[in-house]
Chain A
């Protein structure tokens, strides 16, 4: 499939979804992510303004941006299930979310002097996380048609996974993985951590895709 055709599919999936067809949805994401970044923008150039310890809003941004992406991806999955286009077309909106956050991450990179390759790998991981949660949302929507149940299940699952991975399977925790990429920490000696993180995401993605395709084939047409 050419990129052009793929984009057309993505656009079709946007148009089919009531939730996604409105740009205000993405604008909400941009505004919410942009607030901590706006607060983190360096103002004064005089040293005495920096002598007082200040809240590190760049740190806040590096937590808020992935969290919002996961939340949006999860809700996209739920919303997408209603229009039921191809499961692969869901990658488009998630990728668009990551793409839309690119200017913000560029500012973040510029302010923290982060190595560009570190940011690139962090964004790839974020894309993987977004896809996993979007597929998760899709499955939840298919399994529990009630919106109240969907609401309860998706947030309970999100909280459970994020908290659990703080204690076990650390590489699957988005905040821990991103803190490695976005920090000064050396990467040598982290090979296993990275392999488990990226490999684990890939496996989860494959399992979820397989599961969705099975659920869809069982669905009465």
Chain B
């Protein structure tokens, strides 16, 4: 009887194992993390998750969290809704801000009703990198660079945040997907650095060179033209050595030459980043490649220096102190004399304080300040929108805000761990909901970034006297207090209407000092931060836009500053 029971149980177990019900539960099939499984702490790290679903359709939520113990629990959380059709495998890729090096990153797949379907963990110990990554594609050994498979290159620019430099070897751009090309292009615009190795490798690239026109990452040729420091390539073969030559495009420059005076390195600024090109495939003058990287602590300092100069209405401390002292004095004097007068005195002071503190300026629970900076580059396909938010809360409480962004950065002062933040990505992932807790009388700050199509461009024709400027404003917002910086001087242009073109003569000139004198303190601080990264020929302006933080709260006061910094070009109009 016992044997029969055990056989029956075994059979039932086997049946359960092979039954569709047992295999139905969605599960994580593979998880890829970082670059070669490694990551740089305190940056966005690419994460690719394959989820298999053996049963009916499931609407699920992928939740990625990291819990840090730093006195109080700090949780970084990202949630993405995912629809899993029956009997399919779905790969989701996202970027997760890895904070510490000890706490694991947890992945959970939740049913839309909150029930956990499956979970896994990514151990982070001994997988972190001390410095940003340098990767090399389709090339031989390069000092301090890791060879990386181009097919694994992420498809979002945000995934490249931990990347310092990318070497491009014998690789045809057509072998990359359009998303990968766009991501790389945007990464460079945002401040990345691409080093293209020429020489024999250039034989793979030169077929892609087209006459210079508006470069676009949509096609491999357009993408290549958008990057290249040369407008025309020339292959020189000398004693078995293949060397690249050619015509530098406007704005590109030679940074090193060989013993015969031939260019060895070209450099071109592209947005906030750079593209370098070497004439041979194995250059030895690596020291010519200078470092330029912006760190996260700089971001916190940026908030401090610019948004930090903004003010919020607070009750006058001196007035309150005087009222408190006056009140106590009155109680001391009147209390010894008449009780009724003490009561009247107390009520009078209370009413006075009530009337003062009920002013509309002081009665908001939240003050949301934002500083938006639009970086544009005339002739490029994309503009970068960066926004810094400071949310001052008078009361403790859970807050929810919606932003449109590619990346969200939770900021804290240097050396401090930011407080918990939960980001829920909508569909499409551009719209994100931020959930966070505010301590009373405190500020939470964030930075969000996204790319958008270029809408504002301008060109200076210096061949004319006086020179002329042509501005295209295809955006739906007018530009105010516009000025062009050209050859060290500022030319005031005034207002540029939305969806318009404006041609002006560059005549009314002011110095930079005169121009900045008209700005208030936060605007001047922003200008000081921006001016070093700005191209020599640049258009600067302000836009009046509604604050981009979504949400409808009467208890909140919002204020936004929108600064536009467009790099221009000189050409015949």
Contact = CB atoms under 8 A, between A and B. Distances in A.
B353 A113 contact: no
Interface string A11-36: 10010000000111011001100100
Interface in A171-199: 183-184
Contacts of A113: 362-365, 394-395, 555
A102 B309 contact: no
B312 interface: yes
A51 B303 contact: yes
A46 B441 contact: no
A52 B442 CA distance: 8
Contacts of A121: none
A218 B439 CA distance: 54
Contact of B349 (A26, A54, A103): A103
Contacts of B321: 38, 41
A50 B394 contact: no
Interface residues of A, number: 47
A110 B440 contact: no
B184 interface: no
A212 interface: no
Interface stretch (B175-183, B232-240, B338-346, B425-433): B338-346
B332 A27 contact: yes
A148 interface: no
Given A51-B413, A111-B315, A99 B353 contact: no
Contacts of B303: 51
Contacts, number: 142
Contacts of A30: 327-328, 331
Interface string B408-442: 00000100100000000000000000000001111
Contacts of B357: 106-107, 109-111
Contact of A47 (B320, B358, B390): B390
Contact of B328 (A34, A43, A52): A34
A67 interface: no
Contacts of B400: none
B203 interface: no
Interface string B188-223: 000000000000000000000000000000000000
Contacts of B314: 42-45
A112 interface: yes
A22 B332 CA distance: 9
Contacts of B362: 110, 113
Given A113-B394, A184-B397, A102 B439 contact: no
A56 B441 contact: yes
Nearest to B308: A48
A84 B313 CA distance: 51
A41 B320 contact: yes
A100 B443 contact: no
Given A41-B320, A54-B442, A58-B441, A106 B304 contact: no
A7 interface: yes
Contacts of B310: 46-47
A110 B353 contact: yes
A13 to B, nearest CB: 10
A51 B331 contact: no
Nearest to B304: A48
Contacts of A38: 321, 324
B350 interface: yes
Contact of A26 (B313, B335, B350, B369): B335
29 contacts: A7-B339, A7-B340, A14-B339, A23-B342, A27-B332, A30-B327, A31-B328, A41-B317, A42-B315, A43-B317, A45-B313, A46-B310, A47-B307, A47-B309, A47-B369, A47-B443, A51-B390, A51-B445, A56-B440, A96-B342, A103-B350, A109-B357, A110-B357, A112-B395, A113-B362, A113-B364, A113-B365, A114-B395, A183-B396
